[in-house]
Amino acid sequence: MSDTTESAIERSTRDFAATLLEDPAVIEYRSAEAALEGDPEFVRLSESYNGLAQQLQQKQADGSLTQEHINELRALQTQINSHAAAQRFIAARERNAALIHDCNHEISSILGFDFGAVAGPRGGCSC
Amino acid sequence: MSNDSAIADRTHIKSAARSFAAAIAETAAVREYSAAVDAVRADDNALQLLQQLQQLRQTLQMNAGWDNSDSPERQRLEELEAEVAQHPVLQRFFASQKTMIDELHSINDRLRQRLGFDFASLARPACNCG
């Protein structure tokens, strides 16, 4: 009984994943994510942003944070948001999330509880 | 790709999603959890204990701003938690709930390994981070 159930869940997980991986929204999302992570300019911008954000947290804690620092961080954020690879990734993520929401709705209606809410990483969101 | 073939693909995906859900529902962990929920619903004492616990926790949460570590409500909470921990029907309920959540995490992990992204995280409603 247990073995049969285990293979049923393994099989259906594999089939479901394989079906999703053929969908244009999923293909584009994976491609856009790989392009983003492999874009040296975007990686450099992200690292600069994260480094500066960390520095500014310390400055905020010791009271030396100025408007100039905040403007510098905002300028980096604007560069990141307007980066072509980031814009492609954001659009692809939205399309993929819409598909995943639909699938989760289908799954949850059968289970009687929200699969995504229970099965996801504990605490926090995915942003 | 034409619109027609896109619609056909999504129908196929929804069908695969339903089969996936049906297989989850048949796992030992989910079946045991469903049985444990039914057992709680059939036990007035267990239901009453759960309701009292929930109400008291809400009361204490509302009063969280001030120190209530010695309050009668806090003492009553500890008593109730001890009663719940000793109640066999509720013991089964909480144990099966934990096992089911672990199983669902494991299934989602296997899905993530195949997809290259976390299905459950993407399925959550968008939050307002950043």
CATH number at residue B91: 1.20.1500
Q: Does residue B1 sit within a domain? A: no
Residue B64 touches chain A, beta carbons under 8 Å: no
Phi, psi of A32 (to 5 degrees): -65, -35
> Do residue A116 and residue B25 have CB atoms under 8 angstroms apart?
no
Reported as a single tens digit per residue, the pLDDT across A56-114 is: 999 999 999 999 999 999 999 999 999 999 999 999 999 999 999 999 999 999 999 99
Instruction: Closest CB to B121: pick one of A33, A108, A120.
Output: A120
Nearest chain A Cα distance for residue B106, angstroms? 8
Q: Does residue B95 sit within a domain? A: yes
Give Dmax (Cα) for chain B. 68
Upper half-sphere CA count for residue A11 (Cβ side, 13 Å): 10
Q: Does residue B39 sit within a domain? A: yes
Q: Name the residue of chain B whose CA is nearest to A93's CA.
A: B122
What crossing angle do the helices spanning B44-62 and B28-41 adopt, rounded to 10°?
Answer: 90
Mean pLDDT for chain B overall = 87
* ipTM summary value: 0.82
Reported as a single tens digit per residue, the pLDDT across B53-65 is: 999 999 888 877 6
Residue A26 touches chain B, beta carbons under 8 Å: yes
Q: Does residue B129 sit within a domain? A: no
> Do residue A103 and residue B13 have CB atoms under 8 angstroms apart?
yes
> Do residue A120 and residue B117 have CB atoms under 8 angstroms apart?
no
DSSP letter, residue A107: H
> Do residue A125 and residue B6 have CB atoms under 8 angstroms apart?
no
Instruction: Closest CB to A116: pick one of B18, B124, B130.
Output: B124
> B27 pLDDT exceeds 80?
yes
What distance in Å separates the CA atoms of residue A40 and residue A49, rounded to the nearest whole number?
14
User: How many domains, in total, are found in chain B?
Assistant: 1
Locate B85 and state its tokens: 């921990």
Alpha helices in A1-127 (DSSP H): 2-21, 24-37, 40-62, 67-82, 84-111, 115-119
Q: Does residue B3 sit within a domain? A: no
Please give the residue range of the domain that contains residue B110: 28-117
> B22 pLDDT exceeds 60?
yes
The angle subtended at Cα A66 by Cα A61 and Cα A69, nearest 5°, is 95
> A127 pLDDT exceeds 60?
no
Instruction: Closest CB to A119: pick one of B9, B108, B129.
Output: B108
Reported as a single tens digit per residue, the pLDDT across B114-126 is: 999 999 999 986 5
Q: Does residue B12 sit within a domain? A: no
Q: Tokens 């520095």 — which residue? A: A55
Q: Which amino acid is at A95?
A: R
